[in-house]
Structure 1
């Protein structure tokens, strides 16, 4: 197995031998075999261990075992404890999904802090078979059926080539020690039902099922690559507008795709949208209809679907305490400075001259809300903010990004767009306040 392992590394991960590697070690037979293979192959490894505190003394004993192994082999080890049960409750996740999230967040933290080039995990061919059937039962589509990837960004799984039987045989031949996880025998988990009931039956009926599945998944992966390349070319044509914060997809162009159902799901799934019918129905929904994934929002706005990151949709609120100050807002600065009245100039998109006696500090920068109104400079009378935005032909997303400068909740300035006539300085102004937006609007 060592020879096959080194050949596999040379053929598929040739640079790994010269990299700084973080090895995930639970103490189970799979990770202990991977650790032994890495040591015998002279890899530059450190160890990461997660104590999820799910099995009491048994979890602590696993941790002590891994720490002792690292000490005996002069390896750096990073171990952390997690209140997994509390994390499950707070985030409404299954135990397995919570542990997975905590584990990979821990790996990310270590990789960033200690500059590891790669993280190795001990997933093997039997894990891949189990994952195939779990995804098949969930109706996950082609992405779920191609199996666990050998490499996903910085995470490498060099044991996917080997079966659990081969791993156990190697451990026995090399007299390795490992820890048994009692939860692996529990039928409370879906994967354990597959592992202890379905998999043995399948292997009895089809002894070569793992090899057959690996061949099938290779074919599926080739088909997936071909399909993804085609879909990317198609969707480049339906994007009307794109920048770092949002993308606009033409509804009419999407409707011309045939069959639409085959195209729309792979387009948006990479942004976390997994409800097929919800996506499909959004195409013909009324303006303002939104759907959400964990990371993104997708909005129907007249003739387009607008995709944005959720962080961009949050309400904004910040106080400005002093007259002579500068505040940082997103990628630009807002400068406030008291000037001699003789410096009075003409207000524009980026500069505002206010009568300081007409405003009261602290001023507030915030996103707009229903009911906001102001008295636009250059116009007569009061105007609701919603009507002003409509006149400006702003999309729903664009409206959500507009900031208002307010005094006692009265709108002084729609930043970068229009000031309120009530607060503007004039020749009678005694105390002049100049506000500049730097590096922002053109």
Structure 2
């Protein structure tokens, strides 16, 4: 086990965290043993540092005691300190977050503001090896990909964590040896929180089974992280060579996904950024050979299993499924304009699928624009028999998304136009037409 010394911490900062000596840094200090030890380890090491403390007011006098300890220590050691008080309960309620997630959001938002304000290059936190091991088991219980099993990383953007090689026991011993004051957070003993349950009930059993459990787990997570990097290369290659990004949606060809023996793992890594978890990934893979139309949802996106592709697109909170159009222009939900004029002697048919001409005397205004419904039928231009709109979609190779996004123009009870594709033969311009109804989409 690596000895906890300023020299070793500085070496980790440089070698594993990518820290440059001339960078000014912000140290997050809670008042606990890990952050107080970190502050001591970095003080007077020819590093330009300042400290930041968050008071979440969750433990009454205990929270105020934490802040007072940090303030006194920084004053005695000439360390610049920034403190901020938060109403965490109100924020969590307003944003429908757990207390833990609300605290994390507020903490890092403020840290980022401070770093920009004070022109600091990095944020250094006191996360240690035990934190990383607990995170491993948290993710294992909740379900995760390879990334979640590699523990906490030394560097994540501008956040640096140079204490990951050390245990909580080493850190407390360092504080005691150097007479560094620190506070115990009483909430860390409450096993109603999953992390605390893992810390106090699960890990002690594993330590009994393996006295070298801490070192073993650090090695395990290092190996998993290396496997994660290999997987990232494969996934990135898959994204570049297979995925099709069509602005508002992402398309994954099922035939190409099926070429990979590890398709479930690759698919999970591809769809994870869109909020889909491992359980949804399992369901998607099970339906790859099933019928089209199956949909899967995350909080922000939906995934549709089409005939040949998986389609990922943002969820729409409110969808308009119909609107009316008189002889005028509208802008929403789509831009459509209509006008009527006498048929000119030199009239010529439009070749633009989004611009149509119909016999105005055969059409009842206003036009209803709506989405496709089961049982819809029309008489496609050039035909003398009715055809189901669903069959027209199939023949035209419409995807599920194409069907959802296509508007039908309705006169009375008749479909006169599948917008952007085909008009109904009964409403076409003929030699008998006197007035032209022109409708333009987009």
Fold match by TM threshold 0.5:
yes
Aligned partner of 1:389 in structure 2 is: 393
Cα pair 2:36 2:182 within 8 Å, conserved:
yes
Corresponding residue for residue 100 of structure 2: 99
In structure 1, the partner of 2:230 is 226
Equivalence map 1:267-416=2 (5 Å): 267-271=267-271, 272-275=276-279, 277-302=282-307, 304-311=308-315, 315-316=319-320, 327=331, 334=335, 336=337, 346-347=349-350, 348-352=352-356, 358-360=364-366, 367-370=371-374, 376-377=380-381, 379-380=383-384, 383-404=387-408, 413-416=417-420
The alpha-carbon distance between structure 1 residues 336 and 190, as it changes in their structure 2 partners (threshold 3 A), is same
User: CA–CA distance in 1 between the matches of 2:218 and 2:169?
Assistant: 16
Deviation at 1:126, TM superposition (A): 0.8
Q: CA RMSD in A?
A: 4.9
* Structure 1 residues 338 and 175: CA distance shift in structure 2, 3 A: farther
| Cross-structure match for 1:61 | 64
Q: Distance in 2 between matches of 1:149 and 1:183?
A: 25
Distance 1:189 1:290 in 2: 34
Say if 1:367 and 1:67 are closer, same or farther in 2 by CA, change over 3 A.
farther
Report the Cα distance in structure 2 between the residues aligned to 1:69 and 1:367, rounded to whole angstroms.
67
Select 2:134's aligned residue among 127, 130, 133. Answer: 130
Q: Deviations over 1:227-260 (max 9, x none)?
A: 45456657877x4855442223334x55554xx4
1:116-154 alpha-carbon deviations (Å, 9 max, x no partner)? 865544321011122334445567564443222223445
- State the Cα distance separating 1:185 from its structure 2 match: 0.8
Measured in 2, the distance between the counterparts of 1:221 and 1:341 equals: 73
CA radius of gyration, larger in: 2
Figure out how many residues of one structure are paired with residues of the other and give that number: 418
2: CA distance between counterparts of 1:71 and 1:403? Answer: 66
Contact kept in structure 2, 1:130 and 1:194, CA below 8 Å: yes
1:6 equivalent among 7, 10, 18:
10
> Using a 3 Å threshold, how does the CA distance of structure 1 residues 391 and 174 change in structure 2: closer, same or farther?
same
Distance 1:395 1:170 in 2: 63
Per the TM alignment, residue 107 of structure 1 is displaced from its structure 2 partner at its CA by 3.1
- Structure 1 CA distance, aligned partners of 2:126 and 2:392? 59
Distance 1:192 1:76, change over 3 A: closer
1:168-192 residue CA offsets vs partner (Å, 9 max, x unmatched): 2444456555443222111223322
| Stretch of structure 1 that moved more, 350-359 or 213-222 | 350-359
Change (3 A) 1:317 1:31: farther
The match for 1:440 is none
For 1:231 and 1:398, how far apart are their aligned partners in 2? 28
- SS of residue matched to 1:83: helix
Q: How far, CA to CA, are the matches of 1:407 and 1:22 in structure 2?
A: 67
Instruction: Tell me, yes or no, if the aligned pair for 1:49 and 1:63 is still in contact at 8 Å.
Output: no
Instruction: Tell me how far apart the structure 1 counterparts of residues 191 and 391 of structure 2 sit (CA, whole Å).
Output: 60
The question of whether the paired residues in 1 share the 8 Å contact of 2:31 and 2:70 is answered with: no
CA–CA distance in 1 between the matches of 2:428 and 2:113?
Answer: 50
Report the TM-score when normalising by structure 2: 0.71
- Separation in 2, partners of 1:71, 1:374: 79
Cα displacement (A) at 1:11: 1.8
Tell whether the 8 Å contact from 2:17 to 2:155 is kept in structure 1 after alignment.
no
The alignment partner of 1:309 has SS state of strand
Q: Following TM superposition, by how much is the alpha carbon of 1:282 offset from its aligned partner in structure 2, in angstroms?
A: 1.5
**TM-score, reference length from structure 1:** 0.71
Distance apart, 1:274 and its partner CA: 0.8
Structure 1 window deviating more from structure 2 (73-82 vs 390-399): it is: 73-82
Conserved in 2, the CA contact under 8 Å of 1:320 and 1:327?
A: no
**Inter-CA distance 342–68: structure 2 relative to 1 (3 Å threshold):** farther
Structure 2, unaligned runs of 5 or more: none
Matching of residue 265 in structure 1 with residue 269 in structure 2: no
Q: Is the 8 A contact 1:359 1:407 kept in 2?
A: yes
User: Is the 2:145–2:278 contact (alpha carbons within 8 Å) kept by the matching residues of 1?
Assistant: no
Counterpart secondary structure, 2:251: strand
